[in-house]
Amino acid sequence: MTPDWAPAFAAVPRSAFLPPLMWPHDAAGGRAVAVDRTADASDWHARADSNVPIVTQWDDGDHEGSAPGRRFTSSSSMPSVVFSMLADLDVRPGQHVLEIGTGTGWNAALLAHRVGAGNVVSVEVDPAVAEQARGALRRAGCGAVTVVTGDGLLGCPQAAPYDRVVATCGLRSGVYGWVRQTVPGGVIVVPWGTHHCPTEAVARLVVADDGRSASGCFTRPVTFMRMRSQRLALPEHDAYVPTNGAGEAEKSSTAVTEAEFLTGGLGVEGFAVGLRVPDCVRVADRKQNGRRSVWFYGLTDRSWAVVTFRDDRDESVVHQSGPRRLWQEVEAALHWWRRQGRPGFERFGLTVTADGQTPWLDHPSNPLSTAPTGR
Ligand SMILES: C[S@@+](CC[C@H](N)C(=O)[O-])C[C@H]1O[C@@H](n2cnc3c(N)ncnc32)[C@H](O)[C@@H]1O
């Protein structure tokens, strides 16, 4: 916590924005568990004050009871992540701020404490979530925050321009719309990633003097729930791989090991590979009897590949099929990443223009692909 943000965090308790029934992440069990304030108020408060993400909505609200639903669709992010993104935003008193993803309203209230409630506009796609946030903000004395129900991808042009924009849901594309609503020199902070794996990184983009582009480095890894319209249903395996298995596919082998490849957690390898191998989703099977298969599916055609790692072998068998050789692309990207000195997240960056988005390494003049992808 830095001195500039400490008063806001002290004045705006997270608990004031959480519902009586909530699902904090339980570190011991590694999953979200139901905690009901009416049943155990002290446990509820202890969880509210702890540094864990707390699910506040499942299945877009199509969920009842206390058992966790299938997909979490709104949450209060981990306080340390909330703080680090606010620190990245470098916001000053009196600045005009747009938040995308109101959720509980806690982040909007922290911003309101810093810049003045009348300077905060927050967009939430889910009408029920937005209404709850309005109520919580009012009760916390931040009724002057404008909560708009709508698609945050569109921003909120009627209240533009903004000095700062912060998104609290993950994006794959679509940042350019906010660039046009931000002043030159303004800052946009957004969790951004590719479809390759869930790991995202916080992009901190500064809008150019002519207001037509924004560019900047990633600051740190995160995983946010994706923007509603950018959720990706996992590819249907049967639509790619014939029922008789990998038999017809081209067979080869690789010396890349499971440990080098699946580093787990918020490892940079998957993020870097995703930047180099567009439109490719990675799905790792559960490990069984010392074997694990990792599948790759092309999003623009029916290319697929599978590598099967075995604890008792140094070399792993690869099968590939379709117009692309997805494992070859992935392996080449991994070797490229090593040759660059295994760069961490902060050496990568992103430039967004009207033509699309271009990730880069070290400097915008060193793009990772020749053609920009979707805006
Ligand atoms: C991690 S939560 C936000 C946490 C929030 N800032 C807080 O302080 O509690 C992400 C939110 O983004 C919202 N969301 C998803 N897609 C959106 C979109 N297209 N436009 C606006 N909000 C969106 C979700 O409904 C969810 O409430």
Q: How far is CA 347 from CA 8, 200, 342, 351, in A?
A: 31, 14, 10, 13
| From 63, 126, 151, 202, mutation site for ligand 1 pocket: most ligand atoms within 8 A of C-beta | 126
Q: Would you give the end-to-end CA distance of the chain in angstroms?
A: 34
For residue 46, pLDDT over 70 is answered with yes
Ligand 1 center from residue 285 Cα (angstroms) = 29
Ligand 1 center from residue 127 Cα (angstroms) = 11
Query: What confidence tier does 372 reach under pLDDT thresholds 50, 70, 90?
Result: low
The set of protein residues with a Cβ atom below 6 angstroms from ligand 1 is 73-77, 100-101, 103-104, 106-107, 123-126, 129, 151-153, 168-169, 224-225, 227-229
Q: What are phi and psi of 128, to 5 degrees?
A: -70, -40
Ligand 1 center from residue 53 Cα (angstroms) = 13
Tell which residue, 18, 43, 202, has the closest CA to residue 106.
Answer: 18
What is the per-residue pLDDT for 1?
85
The closest-lying atom of ligand 1 relative to the alpha carbon of residue 123 is 21
Mean pLDDT of 325-332: 96
What is the per-residue pLDDT for 374?
58
What is the per-residue pLDDT for 51?
96
Q: Above pLDDT 90, what percent of the chain? A: 86
Whole-number Å distance between alpha carbons of 190 and 168: 7
Active site residues: 77
Residue nearest to atom 3 of ligand 1 (CA): 103
Instruction: Specify the pairing of strand 250-254 against strand 316-321.
Output: antiparallel
Task: Take residue 111 and report the two structure tokens written for it.
Answer: 């911003």
Task: Take residue 267 and report the two structure tokens written for it.
Answer: 């490892």
Domain annotation for the chain: domains and CATH numbers: 6-169 (3.40.50.150), 237-339 (3.30.160.690)
Task: Take residue 80 and report the two structure tokens written for it.
Answer: 């340390």
Q: Are 256 and 334 in contact (CB under 8 A)?
A: yes
Ligand 1 center from residue 169 Cα (angstroms) = 5
What is the per-residue pLDDT for 265?
64
What is the per-residue pLDDT for 242?
86
The closest-lying atom of ligand 1 relative to the alpha carbon of residue 106 is 8
pLDDT tens digits, 293-313: 999 999 999 999 999 999 989
Average pLDDT along the chain: 94
Whole-number Å distance between alpha carbons of 284 and 307: 10
What is the per-residue pLDDT for 227?
96
Weakest mean pLDDT among 162-166, 251-255, 369-373: 369-373
Residue nearest to atom 15 of ligand 1 (CA): 227
Whole-number Å distance between alpha carbons of 350 and 24: 32
Mean pLDDT of 14-42: 96
Tell which residue, 347, 353, 373, 351, has the closest CA to residue 364.
Answer: 351
Burial 331-344 (b: 16+ CB within 10 A, else e): bebbeebeeeeeee
Whole-number Å distance between alpha carbons of 140 and 11: 10
What is the per-residue pLDDT for 267?
83
What is the per-residue pLDDT for 58?
97
| From 168, 189, 200, mutation site for ligand 1 pocket: most ligand atoms within 8 A of C-beta | 168
- Residue 191: helix, strand or coil by DSSP? strand
What is the per-residue pLDDT for 375?
54
Whole-number Å distance between alpha carbons of 43 and 54: 13
Residue nearest to atom 4 of ligand 1 (CA): 103
Ligand 1 center from residue 54 Cα (angstroms) = 13
For residue 163, pLDDT over 90 is answered with yes
Residue 226 CA to its chain's centroid (Å): 6
pLDDT tens digits, 175-234: 999 999 999 999 999 999 999 988 899 999 999 999 999 999 999 999 899 999 998 878
| From 56, 146, 225, 232, mutation site for ligand 1 pocket: most ligand atoms within 8 A of C-beta | 225
DSSP state of 116: -
Ligand 1 center from residue 124 Cα (angstroms) = 6
Residue nearest to atom 1 of ligand 1 (CA): 75
Whole-number Å distance between alpha carbons of 187 and 314: 47
What is the per-residue pLDDT for 142?
97
Mean pLDDT of 80-95: 97
pLDDT tens digits, 221-273: 998 999 999 988 788 999 999 887 777 789 999 999 888 877 766 789 999 99
Residue nearest to atom 12 of ligand 1 (CA): 101
